[in-house]
Amino acid sequence: MLNTEFQKIPASYLFSDIAKKVSEYQKAHPDKQVLRLGIGDVTLPLAPAVVAALHDAVEEQAQSATFAGYGPEQGYAFLREAIAEGEYEAIGVSLDSDEVFIGDGAKSDTGNIQELFAADAKVAVADPVYPVYIDSNAMAGRLGDYEGNRWTNLVYLPCNEGNGYKPPFPTEPVDLIYLCYPNNPTGTTLTRDELGGWVQYARDNGAVILFDAAYRAFITDDSIPRSIYEIEGAEEVAIEFGSFSKTAGFTGLRCSWTVVPKALVIDGVSVNAMWNRRQATKFNGTPYIVQKAAAAIYSPEGQVQVQEAVDYYLRNAALIREALLGAGIEAVGGDNSPYVWFKCPGGMDSWAFFDFLLNNAQVVGTPGVGFGPAGEGQFRLSAFGSFETTQEAVARLTGLLPQLSA
């Protein structure tokens, strides 16, 4: 017997659809240079400190005395401690290292965490939203049926121009709330007071917040929290996900972390212990050489090098944002985030604008509707291309916009 919930899910993943369209276009137009500002894949090489650590770790694997085979499923202590100190103690948050679990990507961790919760748990998501949160719960059978462009048993929290692209509180009881800040796809952020409101909501209503902080390194405004645990009481209601993919260019190496506080206890059961048991059963650990490479970003030279990469992508984001605003197009994100979100010009829908950009400017972005029904008529551009690619893409884009406003 098959899991019939899979049959309810739209046939393909958003970024697979984009890749297919781009591939077909390139085959039909081999002379055209396509510029990709769609998927959030990085373009800068790994930091020198990371590369050096990889080489050292490989040499260790070549010697019997230093060879590392199966490691702890929870991650090596050296990396768990480095994250607790470098990511949390540095911002005034105290964590025990055994509350930090090393994974192979925030995509995996955010998709797998739902296994800890009841099959009938009610889920709420900001809309638009990163598709993995929804699809993983759909596979588990929590979301009902997919009718039109939405799930019948999912609570959508629409983010739009009217509310500054920030989700409203649910108007019905929910058990799980997915929040991602800085937000993918809109690039917006929450202030300390706004995030505090969500923590209080979860405490008052017995909900758990699943907080994706994969883009925390791009925050430049000190008034914006980098971790939900900067909010008092969050350790009792929230699980947080972090990633080295965008911070340190690990999209190919794959390394992440999940914080499950010991204070998060539901009906007398430790969620930390549950996640530990789940990982011990289903995960053999992130490779030793990758964890050594991740730990290298917390060295003095590593910190400087990864910050240079973050600044590079933020410069790209500012370039995109300012070009759109200068052309009279309303845009958000791009200041404390690597993503810029804007309304499609000329009243076009998301996929129509995608096709228009691809066919007329050979620029690839991401249709907003792919992130949820509230994303229709919106579009996302990523700052993870090279600066030169971003400059050229912006020039092509702004050259086209007068055609749409005429």
For 329, the 3-state DSSP assignment is coil
Both tokens of 287, joined, read 């490779």
Per-residue pLDDT 10s for the chain (406 aa) are 999 999 999 876 777 888 899 999 999 999 999 999 987 789 999 999 999 999 999 999 999 999 999 999 999 999 999 999 999 999 999 999 999 999 999 999 999 999 999 999 999 999 999 999 999 999 999 999 999 889 999 999 999 999 999 999 999 999 999 999 999 999 999 999 999 999 999 999 999 999 999 999 999 999 999 999 999 999 999 999 999 999 899 999 999 999 999 999 999 999 999 999 999 999 999 999 999 999 999 999 999 999 999 999 999 999 999 999 998 899 999 999 999 999 999 899 999 999 999 999 999 999 999 999 999 999 999 999 999 999 999 999 988 877 766 4
Distances (CA, A) of 255 to 144, 155, 175, 356: 32, 30, 28, 36
For 274, the 3-state DSSP assignment is helix
CB-hemisphere CA count at 13 Å for 151?
27
Quote the pLDDT of residue 406: 47
**Rounded distance, CA 246 to CA 170, Å?**
30
Q: Which of 215, 195, 134, 205 is nearest to 175 (CA)?
A: 205
Both tokens of 327, joined, read 């052309």
Both tokens of 397, joined, read 């884009």
Q: Which helix (H) or strand (E) holds 28?
A: helix 14-28
Number of separate helices (H) and strands (E) present in the chain: 11, 17
The count of other CB atoms within 10 Å of the CB of residue 355 is 14
Quote the pLDDT of residue 136: 97
Sign of the C-alpha dihedral computed for residues 302, 305, 309 and 311 taken in this order: positive
Domains of the chain by start residue, with CATH = 4-45+301-401 (3.90.1150.10), 50-299 (3.40.640.10)
**Rounded distance, CA 39 to CA 129, Å?**
14
The 3 state secondary structure assigned to 287-314 is CHHHHHHHHHHHCHHHHHHHHHHHHHHH
**Rounded distance, CA 112 to CA 135, Å?**
11
Distance of CA 357 to the CA centre of its chain: 24
**Rounded distance, CA 17 to CA 14, Å?**
5
